Every structure is written in structure tokens, then in C-alpha cells.
Structure 1
Amino acid sequence: MFPEDFKTTRLALRPISAEDVQAIFDGYGQDREVTQYLTWRPHQSIADTHSFVQMCLRAETSRTYMIVLEATGNVIGVFDLRKTGQFKLEFGYALAREHWGQGLMTEALVEVVNWALRQSDIWRIGAAVDVDNVGSIRVMEKAGLQREGILRRWLVHPNTGDAPRDCVIFSKTR
């Protein structure tokens, strides 16, 4: 169902592998600012990252891609694509802080969204973004996704507290 990889001008998205553990841990997995609005806590040890990678590799209805900067070959982030229904996909992502503000995540997202909406069985692709995650909200807007509304108490972001938080829902449809 999912493609093997994606290519953009500056990026390659390729499937996660066991060899990515150290790059994830060093690059963004333990960064509290990067993981602030994610559904998992920063990794405290390389064992946490190893468990994360194994979970991704076992997933049957999703594929996790490493975001690789073509110029250097370095892993700079992660992009998760999930089939959540008969005709829809959801996604999530994280990008190493040193690469924020360069349009890289927007570039990756545009490529994935365009691929998704070319598939005959996919009619919708979207994501939920914490209402306070200004950076990701901007990425969604720049990538051409539509703001649909706010889902109250939708996701727990353990790095901001234990209570479910409000999220803005974005999608693109065909």
C-alpha cells in the first residue's frame, strides 16, 4: 500500500530500519523541544529508541520513513503514514530542531500528500495538530491542507501534561 520511498529536491524519505537507532536518538529522539507536541516522551536511553524502531517495523497499517537530507545523507527526522480507514490516511512527523524554519517539512509533506491523493483508493489525508504547535500549524497551511476545526480534548501530549489537549484538524481531499 505504501511506496518504498519519496524523493523531493532536498530530501529522501526511506523506510525506517534497525540501523537508524543511533541517528534517531542523537538527532531528535531525546530533544524535549522536538517531542513537546508528540504522543511520546523524549527517549531517555538508546534502548527507548530501539523499542520505538522495533514498534515501527512491526506496524501493519502504517509505514515510518526516515527523512534524509540529500546533501549530507544524514537522518534529520521521521514521517509516519497510517491507513486509518478504507479511504483515508493520517500522518505525523518530527524534524530535528536545527532544520526547523527551512521549509523542509513542508517540502516532504507536499510530496506525500500529492502521492496520497493520486491513489485510487485514498480520498483524504490529514493530521491533528496541538493548538499551541504554531510551527506545525504553519507547515500544514503552507502545504495546502485545509483547517477543518478543533477537536476538544483530542490527544494526550505527555510532554505538556497528562490531560488530553485540543487539536486543530487539517486535511486535504480529492
Structure 2
Amino acid sequence: MLNLPESFETERLVIRKLRHEDAPAIYEGYASIHESTRFVSWPTHRSVEDTHNFLTIKEDEWNQGKDYAYAVTLKATGSLIGGLGAINEQGKVAIGYILNPAFERNGYATEAVKKLVVLLSNIPEVWRIWALCDIDNIGSCKVLEKVGFKREAVLHRWYRFVNQENAIKDCVFYLFPRP
């Protein structure tokens, strides 16, 4: 188990543990939108029920200390605009994020990831922070590089993306440098 808080803030965001009442906002905001989900590991949701099932899994994984899934909300309005997560593999932590397309290119992902990386960096049990991106996901690569992640390698034919007709894609492997 990582000592991550259930909520934290940045200048413009409140980032908090996902909850079941978030299902409609998640479904409508990004989980049902193919363009938003084409680079994620989980299938595009076809109903709010899919989103509720997803949230049940995320709650169980949080309680097991495996996956810390957060809602990204605007501080000014409380609107849910995306998701952020940290998957713990015995101190080797992968991060991921997704935004409602209406809120992309405003620096929100960079702001959220930067704060999460600071929190993870201060946990002694975390010895590696990493991320994997489809090589065609230019926006996500830029976010990681702005936060300070270093491109470690291009992994050829590395991951099968369920929302790209199970295409096997090249991926960029990023590491966050640790002192």
C-alpha cells in the first residue's frame, strides 16, 4: 500500500478518489468517446453500467493498494474533467491520465501529473515512476516531457490497443528521474 492521499489540489484542480456518483460525468465526458479512449488500456464504455463496473474494479484495486484512480476536477466549478491514476507494482509505479476532449490543451494534464509525481517521489517505497505511451499519442508524450519524464526507449510492437481494433503498436517508455 502506498501512502497516497484520497485527495489533493493544484492551483486550478482538485484531484480526488473516484466515486460511483462520478459515473455519468466519466461516461459522458470521456469514457464513451472513442477519440478519448483510443490510447487507454480499457475498452471504450458502451453504457453508464460499464462505467459503474469500471468504478467497482477501481475501488477494489485502491483498497488492495494496486491502483490509485483519481477524478480530475476543476477547483472553480467542481466539474469532473478527467482521470488520473497510479498503478503500484511493488514500488514500481506506472501513471496514466485521460481528459475530456473539451479540456485538452489547457495544461490540466501537465498540472495533475506534476503534482502526482511530487507525491509519489516523496514515498520511500516508490523506487521507479514510469509511463508508457502509444507512439502516435503526441499530446501525452508532450505532457510527460514537460513534467520531466525522460524518454527511455521505443518499444516496437509492444502493446495491443483494444480501442484501435487490437492493433499492436510501438510505444514510448518514459521514466521519471529519481535522485
TM-score (norm 1): 0.95
Cα-to-partner distance string for 1:33-92 (whole Å, 9 max, x where unaligned): 11011112221111111111111111121111000111110111011111113x321111
Structure 2 CA distance, aligned partners of 1:46 and 1:113?
30
Match of 1:27 among 9, 26, 29: 29
Task: Name the SS of the counterpart of 1:68 in structure 2.
Answer: strand
| One-letter amino acid of the counterpart of residue 138, structure 2 | V
Q: 2:4 aligned with 1:5, yes or no? A: no
Structure 2 CA distance, aligned partners of 1:51 and 1:11?
26
**2:127 aligned residue:** 123
**1:79 aligned residue:** 84
In structure 1, the gaps of 5 or more residues are none
| One-letter amino acid of the counterpart of residue 125, structure 2 | D
**2:17 aligned residue:** 15
Q: CA deviation at 1:173?
A: 2.9
| One-letter amino acid of the counterpart of residue 13, structure 1 | I
Deviation >3 Å, runs of 4+: none
Structure 1 CA distance, aligned partners of 2:10 and 2:82?
14
**2:74 aligned residue:** 69
Task: Name the SS of the counterpart of 2:106 in structure 1.
Answer: coil
Match of 1:165 among 158, 166, 169: 169
- Paired residues, what number? 173
Larger helix percent:
2
Structure 2 CA distance, aligned partners of 1:163 and 1:75?
30
In structure 2, the gaps of 5 or more residues are none
RMSD of aligned Cα (Å): 1.1
Structure 1 CA distance, aligned partners of 2:157 and 2:7?
34
TM-score (norm 2): 0.92
